[in-house]
């Protein structure tokens, strides 16, 4: 378990998580900017990032099924991206329950701030996921290997129920305080789970967003892409 992460989502990230273009919001001097700034100020002290992760050697790949040391990952998306992996890093990342609890408790009084805090939480867990990917990338590069695009349950070709069942069977996320509901939803909500393939022959094709069922209409993705060029 790793708690050594410093996450600093800023107001622009909050606005992007809400589907807004920060530059336009700033130009308009919209009160939405102060909501985002307040969400950052109130949300940062509540962050308690934690990651549980483990590497699993790939024992066999057959019929869209990757057999690992202690379990398996399967499905069309897994087959497409992880078939050439030497090992797979499975991770569950969470920013703790503080931010979403604050969002819930202030909703009646200030719904705009509540949604701002929710967006802050989304931006923070996104950053945490990126940080994990960077760590896996660094280790792979040192070994002259490559990493796949990170795969999360719910992407097209890896249904939520299948993916979460497989990941949580491989990994005990309880030390991080993360559990699954009957509907395979992670609690705390501001959590993400992923599998990354590592190996010399692994191809990093596309981006995670390319495999999201909302790729065509997602405003967050549009803003994210335009921001990162």
Partner 1 sequence: MALIEELREAVVDGQAKLAVAKVTEGLEDGIEAGRLLREGLIQAMAQVGRLYEEGEIFVPEMLVAARAMTAALGVLKPHLVEEGVTASAKVAIGTTKGDLHDIGKNLVAMMLEGSGYEIVDLGVDVPADKFVEAIKAGADVVAMSALLTTTMTNMQVAIEAIKAAGLRDQVRIIVGGAPITKSYADEIGADGYAEDASSAVRLVKEVLAA
CB atoms under 10 Å from CB of 199, counted, come to 20
Q: Which of 10, 26, 30, 177 binds partner 1 (CB under 8 A)?
A: 30
Task: With CB under 8 A as the rule, give the number of residues binding partner 1.
Answer: 39
Interface with partner 1 by CB under 8 A: which range of 57-65, 104-112, 127-135, 143-151?
Answer: 104-112
116 binding partner 1? (CB under 8 A)? yes
Q: Please answer whether residues 67 and 8 qualify as being in contact, where contact means their C-beta atoms are separated by less than 8 angstroms.
A: no
Pairing of strands 146-147, 71-74: unpaired
Number of H helices, E strands in the chain: 8, 8
Q: Is 187 in the site for partner 1 (CB under 8 A)?
A: yes
Q: Which is nearer to partner 1, 169 or 214 (CB)?
A: 214
Eight-class DSSP state of 150: P
Decide if residue 27 touches partner 1 (CB under 8 A): no
Helix axis angle, 111-142 relative to 98-106, nearest 10°? Answer: 170
Q: Given the rule CB under 8 A, which of 14-22, 53-61, 140-148, 167-175 is the region that contacts partner 1?
A: 14-22
Using DSSP bridges, classify how beta strands 179-180 and 186-187 pair: parallel, antiparallel or unpaired.
antiparallel
Residues that bind partner 1 (CB under 8 A): 15, 18-21, 24-25, 28, 30-32, 35-36, 103-104, 107, 110-112, 114-116, 118-119, 154, 159-161, 181-185, 187, 189, 213-214, 217, 219
């Amino acid at each position: 378990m790793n708690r050594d992460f410093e996450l600093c989502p800023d107001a622009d990230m909050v606005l992007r998580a809400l589907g807004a273009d920060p530059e336009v919001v700033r130009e308009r001097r919209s009160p939405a900017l102060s909501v985002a700034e307040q969400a950052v100020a109130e949300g940062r002290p509540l962050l308690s990032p934690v990651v549980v992760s483990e590497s699993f050697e790939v024992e066999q790949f057959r019929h869209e099924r990757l057999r690992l040391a202690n379990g398996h990952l399967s499905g069309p998306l897994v087959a497409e991206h992880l078939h050439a992996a030497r090992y797979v890093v499975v991770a569950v990342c969470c920013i703790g329950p503080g931010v979403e609890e604050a969002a819930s408790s202030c909703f009646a009084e200030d719904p705009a701030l509540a949604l701002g805090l929710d967006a802050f939480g989304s931006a923070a867990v996104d950053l945490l996921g990126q940080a994990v990917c960077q760590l896996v990338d660094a280790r792979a590069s040192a070994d002259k290997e490559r990493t796949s695009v990170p795969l999360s349950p719910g992407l097209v070709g890896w249904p939520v129920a299948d993916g979460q069942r497989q990941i949580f069977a491989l990994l005990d996320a309880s030390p991080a305080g993360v559990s699954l509901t009957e509907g395979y939803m992670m609690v705390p909500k501001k959590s993400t789970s992923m599998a990354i393939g590592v190996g010399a022959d692994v191809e990093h094709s596309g981006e995670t967003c390319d495999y999201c069922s909302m790729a065509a209409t997602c405003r967050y993705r549009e803003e994210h892409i335009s921001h990162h060029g």
